[in-house]
Structure 1
Amino acid sequence: MNIASRTFASDRMRRLAADAHAMGWEMARHRFAAEVLSGTLRAPEESRFARLRAKLAGTTWEDTLQDLVDPTRAGWKFLLNLQAGAWVLFLGPSWGAAPVSLARSVGHVVVLDGNVERLRLVREQAQAAGLDNLTYARVVDPLRLPLPDGSVNLVVAPSLVEWFGAVAGTRVMPAACGRELLGEMRRVLAPRGQAYVATDNRTGITRLAGARRASGAAFTAGGLREAATAAGFRAARVLAPIPFHHKFHQVLELEPSTAVRLSADPYRTRGRLVRPLVKAWDVGNRNGALERRLHPLLPSLSAVLSTEPEIPSLAERILGHLAAGRQIPSGCRLTRYFVRAKGAAVLVLGAPDGHGVIIRLPLDERADAACAAHHQALETLAGDGRIPAELRRLFPTPYAQGRFATQPFFAESAVPGEAGRVYYSRGTRRYDRAIVNAAEALRQLRRATETPVRVDANEFARLCGRWLEDLRGIVGREPRVALEAIERRLERTLVGRTLPLGWHHGDYDFANLLYGPRDAVTGILDFEVFDAHGLPLIDLMVLVARRPIRRKGFAFGTLFARSILARKLPPLEARLLEEEMRTVGADEELYQALALCCWLDHLRLRRDSWLVRSPSWLDQNLHEVVEAVRRIL
């Protein structure tokens, strides 16, 4: 980042801190988010290479916004031995999301940084969240931690390289700066203490692109283990956040015997160049052979370093608690560690009897509510006698929910099957069968649960009116006018009409479907927005609009405007939709109203993640749709 850009960024964040103090954190955050997501917040122009480096380094304005509000920035925390009364030393830089998330789980967090504005913003967020267990200090020497020996239980450094940049600035660091800092961490740790560190892989893509300085803070996996041992740590669990340590959706374990492996599912809907690579990966990575060869090339590394061996993580302690209570099978072993954009870590466990387990660990209150809604939906489905037993087997079985120490948890069975996303790269015949089978499962669930209901004002508010009101408070003036027109159209079409309300998933596409032999549906996942009395057709609209993703990878808003709203679907999907429209008695006016509800449902589903996405995401999923809707109103 050049001098002009650094000055611009510092001025804007200083103003954010002043706004937070003057008007409250929520209003200041909302104003800042609007500037970022509208694209109006722009630093002085830099080269394309500089912009690429910023994306790799996680220093764009979108990254800054996420670092302010996204709890998944602390998605690694369940790999540590978190204790309710623990003292944690957090080494910045951070705009607040990670230390605030940690403060919800431990006794006290000491936040160190070289920038006063960042510390002020962390304090504003903590106060807004009602947290008073954080202490803040500005430091000037990145190699000297201002704490006594053995004074903390955990040390967290989400980026060693960024720590040196935040505190030392342009000063040149010694070649062994990373090793020296590990020694300082070991000094301040109490017995049975741990450190979490993340950094650039010395041979990874961020180093090759020149996105970082302080080369002494970058390591290879072997070099990090050796440096940890030299610093006095007796155990080092080396990990890899994927794709980067500042923004990741899963965590791998870089040990030859590990069971924690990479899942390629998040990449199956990407562009045409990526999907063939994912398909080749499926063939070549049997038993993790290809994955282990690529470990040296991963962009980022992280590690849990322990002063003593065999210190269990919070995730392992929760697992043991559930097994001891016979709420899950004994002998389960962690095989996947996902961090969901909705704010929860999702642990996938393999059991000796072959029946897997899923454990959801929310990172904040919002995610806690979403996980609770999902678990409640599973309990509702398990007890719904109207649904035939063969269909109920498609749903996970709810095992347990509760709190371990201060951490909420939700456990359920893992449904067998292959991820539905694989069909984006499969042949047309198998894709067609997968669509038909998913539509048939949906049809049976709807017929088993539908009840005719006359939509009055209260029912309209429940189905879409309250969300429309919330949405108008989030968007800008022009979309707000269009949303008011949409609400009038929906009221005119839906209120007073009798509709068959029933089973409604809310996100019924390949991402949440599992398949087995003959492309039959074997599982349906993720019920955060499930509604036992939902509108007809909406789930089917989401399903039948997926085919263009195979070729062009459209965003949902583009799919909605071009395929769903205009009803321009391939012949197979058009036939499936027309058959269901005849069954529920939907004319064109009702179809368009339900299509608008489908789009609104998508925005509601992504509500807490699209607020921290890029301007291009909003253009494709909000603004482009608003323009298309204006033409039919």
Structure 2
Amino acid sequence: MTTDQSGLRCPRCKAELERITEGLRCSECASQYRVEDGIADLRCGRLDYYFNPVPREAMNTLIEEAEREPWPTIVRRFMAHVKDNVDWLDDLIVDSRYAWKLCLELPPGARFLDLGCGLGNLTKNIAPHVGEVVALDLTWERLRFAKRRFARFNANDRIVLVAGGDGPYLPFPDGYFDCVALSGVLEWVADTVSWEDSDSKLSKAVQMFMSFFGDSNPRVMQRKFLQEIRRILKPGGQLFVAIENRLNYEYFGKRPDHHTQLWYGALLPRFVANLYSIAVNRQPYRTYTYSFGGCRKLFQSAGFSKQEFLGFLDGYTHLSEILSLKTDNDDIWRSSRPHDFQGRIKRDKHFVPAYGIIASNSTQPPNSLLRRIVRLIEIALPPEQLPVSITSCHLTGKEKAVIRGVAGPTPIIINIPCNSTASAVQARHYGLLERAQNLDSLIAFVPKPMACGVIQNVPYYVETELAGQPLRNEIVNLDRMSLLAEVSALLRTINPTPLQCPLTPLVGADFDRVVEKPLQKLLESVDDSEWAQEVRAILCERLRGIPVRYGLMHGDFSVHNIFAHDGRVTGLIDWEDVDASGLPILDALNYLDSAHRAYNPHLTLLDTIPLLATGVWPVEEEQRFLAECYEYLGFDIKYHFELTVLYWLYHVGPQLEFSSGCNRPEIKQRVELLVKEFLRHV
């Protein structure tokens, strides 16, 4: 972070600011502004403004605790105040929701404005890729919270914090930024007036009605705001806006408007919607969103001659897929068209849930981060695998973008991790693919690594896409047992000579590596530290000294990662949790657990793992499969309960590295309640 505020300007007159003892002073109008906690306070009037779901006093307590407590603990405490609403979890900690950054033209050293930065997650995510980020918000406490986040995750990045946005001007000079981002902000620009202070109900009603007209009309206010953003952008600079689609297919009877909670409110003519909102919500309709055509007209009227459109499923929050609707990347990215009617509707440019709009006046050739990544991949590939093009981009719960495409005639996957944890596991996955090319037993069953690299701190990994589909689809649509022998053969392929490793007691350094450290890390997600320590002691005592053999363990040997084609198992993907000195029997337990839940989708881990721990499996053929795995891999079935506990540890632990580690209901189900089930048998 940085305390350099030399680029700031007076929000009242746009003049330069001088540093004084108390903070900053305008060189023209002499307005003074405080600087406190490293944050420049350039608010003009709304000094007591507070937009946050956590009460102010509790938020200040969280900010103090953020100086010393682990970050997941802080997030879980925040979530307790919002009744574990996952919308806030997405806003607080999910990084893959900002994968749209790949479509921006961010030159090295770019200056980026996160306008309406909120709790700071976008700034935290974008800062490693640019020269400087200015994080601006109107709520002082949010900026103080964000500062603690940046101190942990962005120590080497240049970030300037500014409180402001309520003045006649944005507090920056003309042509200052390469990129400005409004993520969930534009629709709120006109929602700035309180209607509770009117002298009478009649006066209030008249004011709300008249707010539709003249300069107070929301569209007029949004256009002026966009024009002010255009002023602070460099020539050719980009404005990115994430906003709901007014014609979101869900608004046609599936859900109410996101902002007003009015059924069909967004679909009505604005004048009618205003009357509807006044009658139902006792508030005027101020949060304008737009259709595809409406967005284009709005940005053109604000002076942005060029607009690119991304489509967001299931919205710009809870982002699961990015569509290229109309972008400068259309020559390398053409989103595939689904076959089913509902799939076509939700991906149609007119009815997609939300847009990512990139507006500019640039006349230069396109040069987005994604285009540069594709260019580097093409340089690394032989001529027969050119050109490279993209067909889809999905986001996963493991914080990575999975981009499918083709390299010449070869189907490929480009994995782009979205944070440091995802980068580490993706590097482990790619490393296994490289080593497997020298292992005759594995080479036919894993994707082929093709290229990898880093550009502006964005890592990418390219591999071939395996033929077929996940085994889950096969066993659900066909016979659950039809490919069990193939699965058994695949396990033997991974560990062709398991008995060469001696049976040894789980003690010493191996115990610390296999049990102690993973268990301690997992139990850090539990708020009751005394109970967690008691559990740790009990489970460690039960697991210490059991006989084990070490070998190659996939780590997520599930029906989702095993691929099948034409009645044969064809391969195994997602080697992110691979362990060359793991416990191979855990892969067999993983398979049974995942197959049972795939065939019984109403079941959860809380159902299947206790069932697995009993040693009595409801499917006879799979029970025999497990017994054969114990014999082949050289594990003593007498320790089945202990090994099931280890399977739970290795299955749930990696999930808690991501957003699940801050999701209190998931922690309760996957950790606390399952531990209580285990303790019943100890």
Scaled by the length of structure 2, the TM-score of the pair is: 0.77
Task: Give 2:583's match in structure 1, choosing from 521, 530, 535.
Answer: 535
Q: Which residue of 2 aligns with 1:580?
A: 629
The residue type equivalent to 1:145 in the other structure is L
Aligned twin of 1:269: none
2:511 pairs, out of 420, 438, 460, with 460
Contact 2:476 2:598 survives alignment (8 Å): no
- In the alignment, the residues of structure 2 paired with residue 70 and residue 7 of structure 1 have an alpha-carbon distance, to the nearest angstrom, of 18
Take 1:292 and 1:378, find their aligned partners in 2: how far apart are those partners? Answer: 36
1: CA distance between counterparts of 2:498 and 2:336?
38
1:265-306 CA distances to partner (integer Å, 9 max, x unpaired)? xxxxxxxxxxxxxxxxx7636xx9835775544332222223
Match of 2:138 among 114, 117, 138: 114
CA shift digits 1:563-614 (9 cap, x unpaired): 4555433223222112212333444432112111110001222121254453
Mapping of residues 316-327 of structure 1, within 5 Å? 316-326=371-381
Percent pairwise identity: 22
| Alignment-derived partner of residue 308 in structure 1 | 362
Deviation at 1:250, TM superposition (A): 1.8
Partner SS, residue 173 of structure 2 = coil
Structure 2 residue matching 1:591: 3-state secondary structure:
helix
CA distance in 2 between counterparts of 1:166 and 1:378 reads 52
User: Are the equivalent residues in 2 in contact too, given 1:362–1:371 (CA < 8 A)?
Assistant: yes
Secondary structure of the residue aligned to 2:408 is coil
Indicate the residue corresponding to 1:246 in structure 2.
Answer: 317
Question: Which position in structure 1 is the counterpart of 2:74?
Answer: 32
> 5+ residue gaps in structure 1?
44-59, 264-281
Q: Is the 8 A contact 2:402 2:414 kept in 1?
A: yes
1:174 has 2:217 as partner:
yes
One-letter amino acid of the structure 1 residue matched with residue 74 of structure 2 = F
Q: How does 1:417-496 map to 2 (within 5 A)?
A: 417-423=468-474, 425-427=476-478, 429=479, 431-448=480-497, 451-453=500-502, 454-455=504-505, 456-475=507-526, 476=528, 477-493=530-546
Answer whether contact 2:498 2:633 (CA < 8 A) is retained. no
State the one-letter code of the partner of 2:94: D
State the one-letter code of the partner of 1:486.
Answer: L
Shift in Å, 1:628: 1.1
1:219 aligns with 290
Seen in structure 2, the aligned counterparts of structure 1 residues 563 and 289 have a Cα distance that, compared at 3 Å, is closer
State the shift of 1:625 in Å: 0.9
2:447 is matched with which residue?
A: 396
Letter in 1 for 2:535: A
Partner of 1:342: 398
- Contact 2:175/2:234, CA 8 A, preserved across alignment: yes
Distance 1:524 1:464 in 2: 26
| 1:69 equivalent in alignment to 2:140 | no
Is 1:9 paired with 2:65? no
> What is the CA RMSD across the aligned residues, in angstroms?
3.2
Per the TM alignment, residue 235 of structure 1 is displaced from its structure 2 partner at its CA by 3.2
How far, CA to CA, are the matches of 1:31 and 1:165 in structure 2? 35
Establish whether residue 233 from structure 1 lines up as the match of residue 275 from structure 2. Answer: no
Alignment match of 2:159 (pick from 102, 110, 134): 134
* Distance of aligned partners of 1:351 and 1:115 in 2 relative to their CA distance in 1, 3 Å threshold: same
TM-score (norm 1): 0.82
Write the distance in 1 (CA, Å) between the matches of 2:510 and 2:343. 54
- 8 A Cα contact 1:179 1:217, kept in partner: no
Larger deviation: 65-74 or 572-581? 65-74
Query: Would the aligned equivalents of 1:340 and 1:346 in 2 still touch at CA under 8 Å?
Result: yes
- What SS does the aligned partner of 1:104 have? helix
Residues 11 and 165 from structure 1, CA distance in 2 versus in 1: closer, same or farther, beyond 3 angstroms? farther
What are the within-5 Å matches in structure 2 for residues 278-289 of structure 1?
284=340
Indicate which of 546, 552, 562 corresponds to 1:503.
Answer: 552
Distance of 2:436 and 2:229 partners within structure 1: 49
| 1-structure distance, mates of 2:110, 2:225 | 21
Alignment of 1:338-377 (within 5 A): 338-353=394-409, 355-377=410-432
Provide, for residues 485-522 of structure 1, a one-character-per-residue CA deviation record: whole Å limited to 9, x for no partner: 111111132xxx3x44222110111222222112x222
In the alignment, the residues of structure 2 paired with residue 421 and residue 521 of structure 1 have an alpha-carbon distance, to the nearest angstrom, of 12
1:195: how far off?
A: 1.9
Give the aligned residue type for 1:96: G
Partner SS for 1:366: helix
Query: Residues 156-167 of structure 1: matches in 2 within 5 Å?
Result: 156-161=181-186, 163-164=188-189
Distance 1:4 1:406, change over 3 A: closer
Number of residue pairs matched? Answer: 577
Counterpart Cα distance in 1 of 2:656 and 2:76: 14
The SS at the match of 2:108 is: coil
Please tell me the residue identity of whatever aligns with 2:449: P
Matched, 1:410 2:458: no
Contact 1:139 1:167 (C-alpha < 8 Å) held by counterparts = no
Contact 1:161 1:212 survives alignment (8 Å): no
1:521-560 equivalence runs, <5 A: 521-545=569-593, 546-560=595-609
Question: Which of the two has higher C-alpha Rg?
Answer: 2
CA spacing shift, 1:19–1:583, aligned 2, 3 Å:
closer
- 1:120 is paired with a residue whose SS is helix
Please tell me whether the aligned partners of residues 114 and 166 of structure 1 are also in contact (alpha carbons under 8 angstroms): no
Residue pairs, 1:262-277, within 5 angstroms:
none
1:239 shift after superposition? 1.6
Report the CA distance shift for 1:181/1:558 in structure 2 as closer, same or farther (over 3 A).
farther
Q: State which of 143, 168, 176 in structure 2 corresponds to 1:151.
A: 176
- Structure 2 distance, partners of 1:480, 1:632, is 18
